[in-house]
Structure 1
Amino acid sequence: MLNDAISKLEEALTINPGKHQALWCIANAYTAHAFYVHDPEEAKEHFDKATEYFQRAENEDPGNDTYRKSLDSSLKAPELHMQFMNQGMGQQILGGGGGGGGGGMASSNVSQSSKKKKRNTEFTYDVCGWIILACGIVAWVGMAKSLGPPPPAR
């Protein structure tokens, strides 16, 4: 999905190479992609590309603080990536599950159980949201009817 986004944004840059928003979006996509990669060398390549695009975006729009801060953050990102990988966060990000104990089957069962529970919770919140919306509309219509028509203008 990230590769598709990057290719479409690069295609947009062929039309308008100075589009700083597209440069910034591509850089963000490369940064996100780098955090999904476990191999430090491959991640560094993505971080380098992200830094290059952030720099180009900042050059196109020098007064933009967001671009400057993004560039600063991208320079620190490889170190943060290494910390994630060293602390085992990379396993969780890449879908390996977290924590110790159990085997592959145990983590698979827990994963399926948590997905089912999440779906049930999402459905419950969706239903509650629609009920609250309906109650609000009914109360609003009832209040509008009880007030009657506005007084005539003088």
Structure 2
Amino acid sequence: MDKLNFFEEIRKDAEETYKLNPEDADNLMRWGEALLELSQFQNVIDSLKMIQDAISKLEDAILIDPMKHDAVWCLGNAYTSYARLTPDDTQARLNFGLAYLFFGIAVAQQPDNQVYHKSLEMADKAPQLHTGFHKNRLLSLLGGVETLAIPSPKVVKNKKSSDEKYIVMGWVILAIGVVACISFRKLR
């Protein structure tokens, strides 16, 4: 429970700091990260609520500083966490898609960060793994039926394209569009 107390303290500190300075992107990111970590200690329903709150904090951080690549990457993690807990395949795929989008933006902002690249690669495989997991879970709940094998992930080769600058620019343009959409949603 030491980890739980640690992240709870971070959450409380971030909440207090927010009252003093709601425009502090670093604090909002810290708050979102703490909520994401704390969500692991909750039941599924409370965890989903906490992840939604984390997503909101991380979106706010990105609105303040759109080039804050670590907040963008963390937002991808939040959408991945939300998708993993979602049994509805369509909704899960939507959230995995958002995770993939934000991991891609993080890669575009920090192309040398291997963690971001690995997250993007895993986000591409996540929907298949999610579907396999929930099928296995359903079959096991039905009583003693052998579970299906989860498909093994394909090996993805790391290709360097001569069009890499266009890909990066595409992600940057997409990031601007996402930030604009988030801004519009917050104004409502």
TM-score range, shorter chain: 0.5 to 0.7
> What is the distance in 2 between the residues matched to 1:5 and 1:16?
16
Residue 74 of structure 1 aligns with which residue?
123
- Gap regions ≥5 residues in structure 2: 1-49, 145-188
Residue 9 of structure 1 aligns with which residue?
58
Residue 31 of structure 1 aligns with which residue?
80
> Paired residues, what number?
95
Q: How do 1:1-154 and structure 2 match up within 5 A?
A: 1-88=50-137, 100=143
Residue by residue, what CA displacement relative to the aligned partner does 1:92-139 show, whole Å, maximum 9, x if unpaired?
xxxxxx6849xxxxxxxxxxxxxxxxxxxxxxxxxxxxxxxxxxxxxx
- Gap regions ≥5 residues in structure 1: 92-97, 102-154
> What is the distance in 2 between the residues matched to 1:32 and 1:15?
23
Offset at 1:90?
9.7
> What is the distance in 1 between the residues matched to 2:139 and 2:142?
12
> What is the distance in 2 between the residues matched to 1:24 and 1:89?
31
SS in 2 for 1:87: helix
Fraction of identical pairs, as percent: 43
Answer whether contact 1:38 1:90 (CA < 8 A) is retained: no
Offset at 1:29?
0.6
Runs of 4+ in 1 over 3 A off after TM superposition: 98-101
One-letter amino acid of the counterpart of residue 73, structure 1: M
One-letter amino acid of the counterpart of residue 58, structure 1: V
**C-alpha RMSD of matched pairs (Å):** 2.0
Offset at 1:42?
0.4
Q: Normalising to structure 1: TM-score of the pair?
A: 0.58
Residue by residue, what CA displacement relative to the aligned partner does 1:33-65 show, whole Å, maximum 9, x if unpaired?
001111110001000000000000000000000
One-letter amino acid of the counterpart of residue 122, structure 2: S
